[in-house]
Structure 1
Amino acid sequence: MTTRSSKYVGVFAALVLVMVPGPPPAAQPQAAISTGTQRSLADVLQEITPAVVNIAVRSRAPAETNPLYNDPFFRRYFNLPEQQQQRLSAGSGVIVDADKGYILTNHHVVADAGEVVVTLKDRRRFTAELVGSDEATDVALLKIEAQKLKALPLGDSSALRVGDSVVAIGNPFGLGQTVTSGIVSALGRGGINVEGYEDFIQTDASINPGNSGGALVTADGLLVGINTAIIAPAGGNVGIGFAVPIAMASAVMEQLIKHGEVRRGRIGISVQDLTPDLAEALRIEESSGAVVGSVEQNSPAAHAGLQAGDVILAVNNRKITGSADLRNRIGLAQIGSQVEIEYLRDRARKTVTMRIEPASAKAGAEAIPAPLQGAQFEDAAGNVVVSNIEEGSAAERSGLRMGDVIVAVNRQPIATVAELAAALKDAGGTIALDLFRGGSKLFLVIG
């Protein structure tokens, strides 16, 4: 079971091992200690904690209540108000631009918000504007009008290694700012039931409700992640938490500032992970990458000369770990930007540059049969992804979920939204979908 901080979501924490210099010899005065000794973690936190804020959200949705609350006698007996109160929830956020008042947090913290109030460490309060929010990455951007803000400097999440010390800062249970610590437990995690674009940093932590949207920072005070979720089999912390890497959150933030939404890109390929068996069959030594399965006609990849069987190793000089990593890099790249792809063909390394084009428009309602109404689909790196599901819709009742990657309709392979629409049109009464969800392949039959 994976929970989020609006429910049971939280921060990452990390065990930070800090070497504090011992006392000087008795004959040596305190002032003689070298100024090059490592600072205490407390000194680092004193500088950066003003950049982490508390977020209170008044939701548009009415509060979920016990059924007894609907009984008029019960309400009169306990002197309860006649009208249901709007749901209140709390989370955390990180100031990333002091001059413009930009604050990163989670989408699920501010989803359906009627009002968002930000409280700074110095107890100043401001009503925040929602600049934009992206459910697929669980990233949202707020803006406040305030003076004398403190921003947290950004680190390089791609440089993290398992075992690195990290610190989590947030607002658990609405108690106020709290600091926890741990290590980076794993990198590149996916399939965490937080559907959409996943490349999580995993850390051990005491994760609690209210920490979502808070900061995951290095021991020297650089922001490397936005705390998002935990694994909680029994509804409580078991020391497994996840954060969105700041590289991904920053890419989303740029698009939210520019467009108010994330406009995802594509290059027109379908890919699969480079497995040890595939590497052996291709007689290559590389252990990570993405194998091109097909290339769409007239796509950027086709114009650049990519072919089925090519093994993509890096994007813009940064190695990729697999197909999901490639999807993240391409999907979050700016539309119209140039990307450099390094790949192997016949064991020879090649490099090609191509232009990111916009993903196809979401399939219109007229192209979606009744059992799938309420679902929206988008192209993403040669795959068709369920980008949104309306709550209570026919698509949700049919078993489709946001983040599902559809690869075939009635055993007919599809790679674009246009191909999906055509296949659904020809499907007839029964629809059988081959799809991937959380890293597992599923076969969904819809009558």
Structure 2
Amino acid sequence: MKKFLSLLLVSILGGAITLGIYKFAFEKQIPLIENQENQSKFVTASYNPSTLEAAENINFTEAADKTVHAVVHVKNLTVSKGPTSIMEYFYGSGSSQPRTQVGTGSGVIISPDGYIVTNNHVIANATRLQVTLNNNKTYSAELIGTDPETDIALIKIDAESDLPYLAFGDSDYSKIGEWVLAVGNPFNLTSTVTAGIISAKARDLNEQDGVFQSFIQTDAAVNPGNSGGALVNTNGELIGINTAITSQTGSYIGYSFAVPSNIAKKVVDDIMEFGNVQMGTLGIKGQDLAVLNGRVEGINESEGVLVAEVFKKSGAYKAGLKSGDIIKKIDNIKISKFSDLTGYLRSKRPNDLVNLTILRDDENMELPVTLIDNTSYTYTIEEVGISIQAQTKSDKDRYNNQEGVVIYSTNDYNRRLGLDGKLLVGINDDKIETIDDAKKAVAKAKEYGMMSLVILNEHGERERLVFRN
């Protein structure tokens, strides 16, 4: 009997010790830490990929409860004065009354004092913004700033007390196959939670327009009204802002896309600190090896970014990056395609230092590169829907050393006009040789309400296009 009791006591003690070790080592809570690097006012959660568990052990309830109270319903009230009938369109009418149109979407509270991140397209052209919390309280919202290129906007409400909010997770460490929740207000159904997995990362939906994107793709159901809502991991950390779906019907068919949290956080930090978005760039023209698919002689690699040209005076040029180099990693983040690279760079600012791992002549090398401000050699003329950049050596050769700047991206209308790749040599009566020339000419043209562009093609033929406000 004594022997039995001794064995029982030893078993109980052993089990208690084992349970204590498990609790201490494996169930330690993940702390929230302030991001001290750039003195952001928004909280960043430390991210631990080892906490990912098998699907049968996942419990979504805690993450869902944490998220729904921090996701809001955003109403965009727009006053329209356009014609209401075909007769008014052609003949006009003095009796037309302004009409209020209401658009809806979602937003995510990211600080207790009421800062909310949403999509730019949710609040675009708003005359008035309203935000409804999960407790049904409604507030007027102030627009703080926007970035149309990443489709991110920052708005603010003033509440009577501190608000529930979400901490930013580190989207660079999110994994394909990881469980996620999408929380928003589809079809005006408030506080809707759907679950799925991350299907892909660094997804570019507009590879042909020269503006590179880097979305998280998920199969969590996202529908109209979800835009601007939260994509969270099972810890309840914000890893994306739901932004787009690909569908022929306008509703969810299996794919949805979110702006990664690292990009969204950087955009709102820039808006808060500078009033606009600071873009850091390497200063290269690159080609996606996955797209080239072995069509470049002497290159057997299928993953990475091939450096086609390096802009003079850029950080890449000063670091010794050369045409023909293949970028394989940036700060130990694997680069398989161009959107991997651009997505990471969107979370960086001018003067940030990044470490490139490149392949040159079959040898791996590491190059530290200081990023530069992309506005020094690129510029978007929003009034006419084109983006321009300084010429490289190959551009100079193609245009026989003609001065001007290259049109590298256009909106749908200008793309149909065939402007991509042509040379902008004049705006109104001003000759354009540099990006600074273009900026000054655009500022002058805004005063006249008209912009006339002089375009040159590779054959030396000129054309003039007139845009009126």
Question: What TM-score does the superposition give when structure 1 sets the normalisation length?
Answer: 0.71
The match for 2:252 is 237
**Do residues 54 (structure 1) and 73 (structure 2) align?**
yes
CA RMSD of aligned residues (A): 4.0
Q: 1:184 aligns with which of 198, 204, 214?
A: 198
Distance 2:365 2:146 in 1: 37
The match for 1:374 is 384
The match for 1:218 is 233
Shift in Å, 1:282: 3.3
**Structure 2 counterpart of 1:138, which letter?**
D
The match for 2:299 is 282
The answer to whether the 8 Å contact 1:204/1:239 transfers is yes
- Residue 373 and residue 85 in structure 1: after superposition, are their counterparts in 2 closer, same or farther (change >3 A)? closer
**Structure 1 counterpart of 2:385, which letter?**
A
Q: 2:363 aligns with which of 348, 355, 370?
A: 348
Structure 2, unmatched stretches of 5+, are 1-21, 28-55, 396-405, 425-432, 439-452, 464-469
**Do residues 124 (structure 1) and 134 (structure 2) align?**
no
Shift in Å, 1:359: 2.1
Post-superposition Cα deviations, 1:16-37, rounded to whole Å, max 9, x if no partner, equal xxxxxxxxxxxxxxxxxx9979
Distance 1:362 1:279 in 2: 27
- Residue 387 and residue 213 in structure 1: after superposition, are their counterparts in 2 closer, same or farther (change >3 A)? farther
Question: What TM-score does the superposition give when structure 2 sets the normalisation length?
Answer: 0.68
The answer to whether the 8 Å contact 2:213/2:342 transfers is no
The answer to whether the 8 Å contact 2:423/2:456 transfers is no
SS at match of 2:69: helix
**Do residues 43 (structure 1) and 62 (structure 2) align?**
yes
Structure 1, unmatched stretches of 5+, are 1-33, 72-80, 401-405, 411-415, 432-447
Q: How many residues align?
A: 370
SS at match of 2:136: coil
**Structure 2 counterpart of 1:305, which letter?**
G
- Whichever of the two has the greater Rg, that structure is 2
The answer to whether the 8 Å contact 2:62/2:236 transfers is no
Shift in Å, 1:179: 1.1
**Structure 2 counterpart of 1:153, which letter?**
A
The match for 2:216 is 201
- 1:43-442 matches, within 5 Å, as 43-62=62-81, 67=86, 83-99=97-113, 101-146=114-159, 147-191=161-205, 196-275=211-290, 277=294, 281-282=298-299, 287-360=302-375, 374-379=384-389, 395=414, 398=417, 406-407=420-421, 418=435, 424=455, 428-429=460-461
The answer to whether the 8 Å contact 1:62/1:87 transfers is no
Distance 1:38 1:323 in 2: 36
**Structure 2 counterpart of 1:48, which letter?**
T
Post-superposition Cα deviations, 1:319-371, rounded to whole Å, max 9, x if no partner, equal 22322332343355212222222212122222222222222458899xx9xxx
Distance 1:204 1:169 in 2: 13
SS at match of 2:294: helix
Distance 2:421 2:214 in 1: 21
**Structure 1 counterpart of 2:218, which letter?**
T
**Structure 2 counterpart of 1:141, which letter?**
L
The answer to whether the 8 Å contact 2:422/2:456 transfers is no
Distance 1:257 1:174 in 2: 30
Post-superposition Cα deviations, 1:154-191, rounded to whole Å, max 9, x if no partner, equal 22222223322111110112232211122222222112
The answer to whether the 8 Å contact 2:64/2:181 transfers is no
Distance 1:294 1:150 in 2: 48
**Structure 2 counterpart of 1:295, which letter?**
V
Shift in Å, 1:270: 0.9
Post-superposition Cα deviations, 1:131-176, rounded to whole Å, max 9, x if no partner, equal 2111111111112222221111222222223322111110112232
Distance 2:89 2:437 in 1: 45
SS at match of 1:97: coil
- Residue 320 and residue 39 in structure 1: after superposition, are their counterparts in 2 closer, same or farther (change >3 A)? closer
Shift in Å, 1:397: 7.0
**Structure 2 counterpart of 1:149, which letter?**
L
The match for 1:435 is none
- Residue 364 and residue 198 in structure 1: after superposition, are their counterparts in 2 closer, same or farther (change >3 A)? closer
**Structure 2 counterpart of 1:308, which letter?**
S
The answer to whether the 8 Å contact 1:269/1:381 transfers is no
SS at match of 1:321: coil
Shift in Å, 1:227: 0.6
Distance 1:326 1:291 in 2: 11
Shift in Å, 1:429: 4.2
- Residue 361 and residue 116 in structure 1: after superposition, are their counterparts in 2 closer, same or farther (change >3 A)? farther
The answer to whether the 8 Å contact 1:137/1:197 transfers is no
Post-superposition Cα deviations, 1:285-311, rounded to whole Å, max 9, x if no partner, equal xx4211111122232211111111111
Higher helix fraction (1 or 2) = 2
**Structure 1 counterpart of 2:298, which letter?**
A
The answer to whether the 8 Å contact 1:170/1:178 transfers is yes
- Residue 206 and residue 375 in structure 1: after superposition, are their counterparts in 2 closer, same or farther (change >3 A)? closer
The answer to whether the 8 Å contact 1:362/1:376 transfers is no
Distance 1:82 1:328 in 2: 46
Distance 1:429 1:385 in 2: 16
Distance 1:344 1:381 in 2: 26
Name the stretch that deviates more: 245-254 or 41-50.
41-50
